[in-house]
């Protein structure tokens, strides 16, 4: 299997995760990087008519997570911790989260992600620590 096969399998695994039926995201994975795109919808809004922070978190974590898993070809990685900064509200357009691995060690991977709006303005950023799990990447979890 090539690295590109691994990236496409990760994308398919992400697309078939039950939680993503609601958000309808698109993802692209490459070596040490991942990008997630979601169209803003009113059902993502909190009471003040802007996207709820939970959507920001999901996108930032997903982008960083899959950037990390792009470098691990045998098992699913796990989010150990994640910090985020919400810097701007958004209520229309498209959200794009770009994640990249910034450090790897024997046990941990650290990845950062930036969330931008349709005009490429930063609206949030985050960083996470990820570790290898004991869950093999198999067709049973959508890795096919």
The position carrying tokens 């950062």 is: 112
Span 7-22, pLDDT tens digits: 999 999 999 999 999 9
Share of the chain above pLDDT 70, in %: 100
Q: With contact defined as beta carbons under 8 Å apart, do 75 and 137 qualify?
A: yes
Distances (CA, A) of 10 to 70, 132, 144: 8, 15, 8
Sign of CA dihedral 137, 140, 141, 144: positive
The predicted model gives 118-129 an average pLDDT of 97
- Burial of 95 by CB count in 10 Å (0-12 exposed, 13-18 middle, 19+ buried)? buried
Span 47-75, pLDDT tens digits: 999 999 999 999 999 999 999 999 999 99
Q: Which of 83, 92, 10 is nearest to 44 (CA)?
A: 92
pTM recorded for the entire structure: 0.96
Q: Are strands 26-30 and 108-116 parallel, antiparallel or unpaired?
A: unpaired
Q: Which of 42, 24, 23, 25 is nearest to 34 (CA)?
A: 25
Question: Distance (Å, rounded) from C-alpha 71 to C-alpha 120?
Answer: 27
The predicted model gives 121-127 an average pLDDT of 98
List domains and CATH numbers for the chain: 3-139 (3.10.129.10)
């Amino acid at each position: 299997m090539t690295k590109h096969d691994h990236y496409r399998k990760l994308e398919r695994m992400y697309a078939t995760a039950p939680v993503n039926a609601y958000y309808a995201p698109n993802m692209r994975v490459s070596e040490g990087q991942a990008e997630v795109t979601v169209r803003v919808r009113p059902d993502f809004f909190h009471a003040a008519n802007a996207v709820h922070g939970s959507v920001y978190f999901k996108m930032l974590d997903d982008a960083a997570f899959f950037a990390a898993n792009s470098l691990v070809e045998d098992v699913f990685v796990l989010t150990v911790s994640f910090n985020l900064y919400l810097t701007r509200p958004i209520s229309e357009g498209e959200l794009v989260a770009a994640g990249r691995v910034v450090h790897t060690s024997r046990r941990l991977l650290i990845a950062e992600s930036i969330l931008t709006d349709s005009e490429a303005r930063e609206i949030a950023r985050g960083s996470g620590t990820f570790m290898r799990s004991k869950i093999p990447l198999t067709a049973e979890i959508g890795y096919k």
